[in-house]
Amino acid sequence: MAVTDVADPFDMSLAAISKHLTILTRAGLISQEKRGRVKWCKLEPDAMRNASIWMQSFGQFEAVNLDAFEQFLKQELQD
Amino acid sequence: MAVTDVADPFDMSLAAISKHLTILTRAGLISQEKRGRVKWCKLEPDAMRNASIWMQSFGQFEAVNLDAFEQFLKQELQD
DNA sequence: GCAATATTCAACCAAATGGTTGACGATTTA
DNA sequence: TAAATCGTCAACCATTTGGTTGAATATTGC
């Protein structure tokens, strides 16, 4: 999907969409390939795998274990 | 886990932690129960179920289907 | 060859976020 | 009973975010 196609349904400037797509690319959620003057964007299927796995574990601990949660967050912040 | 216990490992004010916990409560990610002067916090286990399910679906579409992704986002924004 | 299209950039601005401090009220402890 | 503790509130401030506009570059189409 081209950048202008992504932008089409939104009531905001192309420059703003371009900014968002840059962030999504940097986050690894989408990838972009330039062919001619058009940049083609596509989703990266595995991009949220780790986040999804982490979310599935959310709450698996006993409520008392916010310590474990905090440790996890610290570790994630270090990454 | 009490609010002060949550705050303990972080190098920031209790007021800031309290703000964050208010947001997490409002988001349904944790719940809080006051007993005496202490507020006990616990994770809500199912809080991220919908997000996790959505993330698992991320990328399942053909790359051409950013349309479907957009429709999904619109729908989510309406919710 | 020039106009149109696609896209980004820089500069700008308003709104939102994320923290602090000091004060305060409720509860507990000594 | 007073001090200590727990937690929130309001006000404030700096930073970040999220958008715009106009200009610019690269590419395509007529």
If one counts the domains in chain A, the total is 2
Say what the pLDDT of residue A63 is. Answer: 40
Question: What is the ipTM metric for this complex?
Answer: 0.71
- The residues with which B63 forms a beta bridge, in sequence order, are none
Task: Note whether B54 and B30 are same-domain residues.
Answer: no
pLDDT computed for residue A62 by the predictor: 41
Are residues A31 and A10 part of one domain? yes
Residue numbers of the domain that contains B32? 3-43
Residue B54 sits in the same domain as residue B32:
no
SS in 3 state form for chain A? CEHHHHHCCCCCCHHHHHHHHHHHHHCCCEEEEEECCEEEEEECCCCCHHHHHHHHHCCCCCHHHHHHHHHHHHHHHHC
Bigger pLDDT: B35 vs B69:
B35
Mutate to test the interface with A, among B48, B49, B50, B69 (most CBs of A within 10 A): B48
pLDDT in tens, A42-77: 988 888 888 888 887 776 644 434 455 555 555 555
- Please check whether residue A66 touches B, CB under 8 A: yes
Flag whether pLDDT at A33 surpasses 90.
Answer: yes
A62 and A39 within one domain: no
Q: Are residues B32 and B55 in the same domain?
A: no
pLDDT of residue B78: 55
Interface contacts A/B by beta carbons within 8 Å: 69
Look at residue B31 in the predicted model and tell me its pLDDT.
94
